[in-house]
């Protein structure tokens, strides 16, 4: 593990996206938020590498939409 | 029954200093007879440095307060001559359980590493800890060592000068003044000395209250540390149960910020909370109840000329991780040998600035760790609570999340990486005994390595030759000759040699590693001793 991949890397992205939505299907917001938090931690453990995790946090922050109407 | 913390142990007695025409001058005055002040004074007296301790009180601390003492401070107490009493009386524990809501999410075993004299932790009420230190001070006094513990003596004014300090001391017989070459202020988090000198103490306030109750009960709970996040008996908050000697149990209950402290402390409010936790039928007696809030902060500098701050007076942390008293003892361990060398003229006064550098580094490490524990235990935002709960939920099912659970990262000693006192290191030797690290214990023959180290500079040789004694400009370095054969368990070789066949360690009087080599070289040793004592570089001899 060395660098964060920001190129397309997910096998069959439409299927993954559908799985993600299905996992949240019917959950109240609090449980959805909790599920997301657990998912982040599980994935972070899979990555393991602290540098890659830092880069991932930075990439996620960089893509934050600045439109005040959405904040 | 009169409890130890209700008994005056060092009642006020009139001192001859009160009848002197001019303020009597003392080499060192320690202000505060808590754990840190007593340890400082004992260390000085053992080295025949005359010391006066001033304390406004005459008793040990009220209530259990600090209860968790870690291995390194126990090793320091061994050097001071009172570690065994603490360990004999203390409760040893290795097992911890973590609960979330009404479920146990996991348990852990500290699994102490083999080959150490002292356990990872003991639980012991601070009043016993102080009592044993007072006993040690009294024993030294009986041996003729120059230690003078003055109770009922409150310092009300501090006049710091370039070459000493003038103190005004209030007593039941009225005030008097004494002078000191050096003052060590160990007068606690609220340090009046710090305030009188107008010094800063900045940091982060945590808006939370914790109820501590010491409960005497014959309970079936095992000797374990139990920590609850969001338990049914204290919804949305945390709780801790920990055993102390004499069937005293320490219970911490988080209460939140907007509470009426006086009301919450009343037994009629405390007892229902405890029954909710321990069960309606639990039979117990309340020994002590207190409510605390805490801050994480430190002074910018611990040394202010001739006044040196140690313990909570210099730095304050949250209680999670037992980093208060434990780090204070490491402060004086670091300070006293330096002060003694400076007082004897064997080291420049600037050596004391390394106390600042090394112990500020340690304080920052403790503040960082205890702040992080606090942020986990008491989440400050919705999102941090979501992540905290996610970690706990995962920890119940998956091993990977357990190291993220933070109910206090228990005190470990600081390694003084980057200290100006550190000398050469050797690649391939073990990381844990690098320059700046505290010596790691190991079995040697029928005893222990640490009992043979400390109080002077030593050259520890493992399967290596070196002279028995070397004088480096008045600083005597004594050889401690060891062989890997002294320890059939292999711990000595594993902890001190690593890939090397032989090792030469320069050890400081506080049992920290100053420098290490694989073979003896006199010029390098002299240079390292000079570095470790803050001597000017022009005093370093060049190799011939």
- B354-393: pLDDT as tens digits: 999 999 999 999 999 999 999 999 998 999 999 999 999 9
Q: Is the pLDDT of residue B178 over 50?
A: yes
3-state secondary structure of B380: coil
- Taking the C-alpha atoms of residue B156 and residue B178, their distance in angstroms, rounded to an integer, is 12
pLDDT, tens digit, 9 for 90 and up, residues B106-146: 998 887 889 999 999 999 999 999 999 999 999 999 999 99
CB contact under 8 Å between B394 and A34, yes or no, is no
Distance CA B216, CA B223 (A): 14
**Rounded to an integer, what distance in angstroms lies between the CA atom of residue A32 and that of residue B139?**
65
pLDDT of residue B538: 40
DSSP string of B201-236? -EEEEEEEEEEEEEEE------SSEEEEES-GGGTT
Per-residue confidence (pLDDT) for residue A70, from 0 to 100: 55
- Which of B200, B199, B192 minimizes the C-alpha distance to B56? B192
Q: Do B390 and A45 touch (CB under 8 A)?
A: no
Cβ contacts (< 8 Å) between A42 and chain B: which residues? 394, 398, 400
Report the SS3 class of residue A33: helix
pLDDT of residue B520: 97
Q: How many residues does chain B have?
A: 544
Packing angle between helix B351-377 and helix B325-343, nearest 10 degrees? 180
Give Cα separations from A40 to A36, A46, B394 (angstroms): 6, 10, 11
Rounded to 10 degrees, what is the CA torsion of A50, A52, A54, A55?
Answer: 170
Per-residue confidence (pLDDT) for residue B318, from 0 to 100: 82
By CB neighbour count within 10 A (0-12 exposed, 13-18 middle, 19+ buried), where does B260 fall?
exposed
Q: Within an 8 Å CB–CB cutoff, is residue B394 touching chain A?
A: yes
pLDDT at B542: 42
Please write the tens of the pLDDT for every residue from B2-49.
Answer: 677 788 999 999 999 999 999 999 999 999 999 999 999 999 999 999
What is the β-pairing status of strands B475-482 and B469-472?
antiparallel
CA-to-CA distance for A17 and B67, rounded, in angstroms? Answer: 52
The residue of chain B with its CA nearest to that of A39 is B390
Distance from CA of A37 to the nearest CA of B (A): 6
Q: Are B215 and B232 in contact (CB under 8 A)?
A: no
pLDDT the model gives residue B4: 75
Q: Measured between beta carbons, which residues in chain A are less than 8 angstroms from residue B404? A: 41
Task: Please name the residue that has the structure tokens 């007892």.
Answer: B271
pLDDT tens digits along B54-90: 999 998 877 878 889 999 999 999 999 999 999 999 9
> Rounded to a whole number, what is the distance in Å from the CA of B365 to chain A's nearest CA?
20
Give CA B23 to chain center in angstroms: 33
Nearest Cα to Cα of residue B428 among B493, B498, B496: B498
Q: B398, exposed or middle or buried, with CB in 10 Å at 0-12, 13-18, 19+?
A: middle
Residues of A in contact with B387 (CB under 8 A): 37, 40-41
One-character DSSP codes across B483-533: -GGG-TTSHHHHHHTTT-S-EEEEE-TTSBEEEEESS--HHHHHHHHHHHT
Q: Quick check: B389 and A34 CB within 8 A? A: yes
Measured in degrees and rounded to the nearest 5, phi and psi for residue B256 equal 90, -175
Residue-range domains of chain B with CATH: 373-404 (no CATH), 431-539 (3.40.30.120)
Are B330 and B280 in contact by the 8 Å Cβ rule? The answer is no
* Sheet with B121-123: strands ordered across: B68-70, B121-123, B91-92
Substitution target in A27, A29, A34 with the highest count of B β-carbons within 10 Å is: A34
Per-residue model confidence as pLDDT tens digits over B479-524: 999 999 999 999 999 999 999 999 999 999 999 999 999 999 999 9
Q: Which residues of A touch B390 (CB under 8 A)?
A: 34, 37-38, 40-41
- E runs forming strands in B370-508: 443-444, 447-448, 457-462, 469-472, 475-482, 503-507
Comparing CA positions, the residue from B154, B155, B1, B125 lying closest to residue B64 is B125
State residue B112's pLDDT score: 82
B111 at interface of A, judged by CB pairs closer than 8 A? no
B323 close to B162: Cβ distance less than 8 angstroms:
no
Neighbours of B415 (CB within 10 A): 22
Check CB contact under 8 Å for B393 and A42.
no
Q: How far is B418 from B399, CA to CA, in rounded Å?
A: 35
**Could you read off the pLDDT of A3-61 as tens digits, one per residue?**
999 999 999 999 999 999 999 999 999 999 999 999 999 999 999 999 999 999 999 99
> Which pLDDT belongs to residue A68?
59
HEC secondary structure over B280-345:
CCCCCEEEEEEEEEEEEEECCCCEECCEEECHHHCEECCCCCCCCHHHHHHHHHHHHHHHHHHHCC
Distance CA B90, CA B257 (A): 33
Q: If you compute the radius of gyration of chain A from its CA atoms, what whole number of angstroms results?
A: 14
Q: Report the 10 Å Cβ neighbour count for B420.
A: 14
Residue whose C-alpha is closest to residue B520's, from B474, B471, B461 = B461
Our CA-based measurement puts residue A32 at a distance from the nearest CA of chain B, in whole angstroms, of 10
B243-261 per-position pLDDT tens digit: 999 999 999 999 998 899 9
Residues of B in contact with A40 (CB under 8 A): 387, 390
Q: Using the beta-carbon criterion (under 8 Å), do A41 and B393 form an inter-chain contact?
A: no
**Is the predicted pLDDT of residue B342 greater than 50, yes or no?**
yes
Name beta bridge partners: B225: B96
Residue of chain B minimizing CA distance to A46:
B400
Structure tokens that stand for A54 in this block: 């830092």
Per residue in B207-237, pLDDT (tens digit) is 889 999 999 998 777 888 999 999 999 999 9
* Buried/exposed B482-514: b ≥16 CB within 10 Å, e otherwise: bebebbeeebbbbbbbbebebbbbbbbbbbbbb
CA A18 to chain B, closest CA, distance in angstroms equals 23
Contact A41 B391 (CB under 8 A): yes
SS in 3 state form for B237-256?
Answer: CEEEEEEECCCEEEEEEEEE
Summarised one tens digit per residue, pLDDT across range B401-433 is 999 999 988 888 999 999 999 999 999 999 999
Which residue from A37, A42, A45 is facing B386, i.e. has the nearest CB? Answer: A37
Integer Cα distance of B482 and B251 in angstroms: 46
Is there a contact between B400 and A45 if contact means CB atoms under 8 Å apart?
yes
Torsion from C-alpha of B405, B382, A35, B105, nearest 10 degrees: 30
Bridging pattern class, strands B95-100 and B103-109? antiparallel
């Amino acid at each position: 593990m060395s660098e964060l991949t920001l190129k397309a890397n997910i096998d069959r992205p439409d299927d993954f996206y559908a799985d993600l939505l299905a996992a949240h299907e019917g959950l109240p917001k609090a449980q959805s938020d909790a599920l997301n938090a657990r998912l982040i931690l599980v994935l972070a453990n899979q990555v393991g590498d602290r540098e890659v995790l830092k880069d991932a946090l930075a990439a996620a922050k960089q893509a934050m939409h600045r439109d005040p109407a959405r904040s | 029954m009169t409890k130890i913390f209700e008994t005056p142990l060092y009642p006020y007695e009139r001192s001859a200093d009160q009848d002197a025409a001019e303020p009597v001058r003392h080499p060192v005055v320690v202000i505060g007879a808590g754990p840190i002040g007593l340890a400082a004074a004992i260390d000085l007296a053992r080295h025949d440095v005359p010391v006066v301790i001033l304390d406004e009180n005459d008793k040990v601390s009220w209530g259990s307060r600090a209860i968790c003492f870690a291995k390194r401070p126990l090793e320091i107490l061994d050097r001071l001559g009172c570690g065994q009493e603490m360990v004999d009386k203390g409760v040893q524990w290795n097992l911890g359980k973590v609960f979330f809501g009404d479920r146990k999410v996991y348990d852990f075993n500290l699994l102490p590493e083999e080959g150490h004299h002292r356990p990872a932790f003991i639980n012991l009420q601070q009043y016993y800890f102080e009592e044993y230190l007072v006993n040690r001070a009294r024993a030294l006094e009986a041996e003729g060592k120059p230690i003078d513990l003055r109770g009922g003596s409150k310092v009300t004014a501090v006049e710091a000068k370039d070459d000493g300090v003038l103190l005004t001391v209030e007593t039941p017989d009225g005030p008097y003044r004494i002078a000191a070459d050096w003052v060590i202020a160990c007068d606690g988090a609220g340090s009046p000395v710090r305030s009188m000198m107008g010094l800063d103490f900045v940091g982060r306030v945590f808006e939370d209250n914790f109820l501590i109750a010491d409960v005497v009960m014959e309970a079936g709970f095992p000797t374990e540390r139990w920590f609850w996040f969001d338990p049914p008996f204290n919804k949305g908050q945390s709780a801790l149960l920990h055993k102390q000697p004499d069937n005293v149990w320490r219970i911490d209950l988080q209460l939140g910020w907007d509470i009426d402290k006086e009301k919450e402390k009343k037994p009629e409010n405390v007892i229902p909370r405890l029954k909710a936790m321990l069960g309606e039928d639990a039979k117990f007696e309340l020994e002590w109840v207190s409510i605390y809030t805490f801050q994480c902060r430190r002074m910018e500098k611990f040394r202010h000329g001739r006044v040196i701050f140690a313990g909570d007076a210099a730095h304050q942390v949250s209680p999670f991780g037992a980093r208060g008293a434990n780090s204070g003892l490491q402060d004086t361990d670091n300070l006293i040998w330096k002060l003694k060398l400076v007082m004897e003229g064997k080291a420049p006064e600037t050596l004391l600035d390394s106390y600042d550098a090394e112990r500020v580094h340690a304080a920052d490490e403790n503040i960082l760790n205890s702040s992080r524990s606090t942020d986990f235990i008491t989440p400050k935002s919705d999102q941090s609570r979501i992540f905290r709960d996610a970690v706990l939920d995962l920890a119940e099912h998956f091993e990977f999340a357990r190291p993220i659970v933070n109910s206090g990262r228990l005190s470990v000693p600081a390694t003084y990486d980057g200290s100006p006192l550190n000398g050469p290191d050797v690649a391939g030797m073990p990381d844990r005994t690098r320059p700046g690290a505290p010596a790691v214990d190991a079995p040697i023959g029928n005893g222990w390595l640490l009992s043979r180290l400390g109080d002077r500079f030593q050259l520890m040789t493992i399967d290596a030759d070196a002279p028995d004694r070397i004088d480096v400009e008045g600083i005597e370095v004594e050889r401690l000759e060891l062989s890997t054969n002294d320890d059939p368990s292999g711990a000595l070789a594993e902890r001190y040699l690593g890939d090397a066949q032989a090792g030469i360690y320069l050890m400081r009087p506080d049992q920290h590693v100053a420098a290490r080599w694989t073979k003896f070289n006199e010029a390098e040793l002299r240079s390292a001793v000079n570095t470790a004592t803050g001597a000017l570089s022009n005093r370093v001899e060049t190799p011939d």
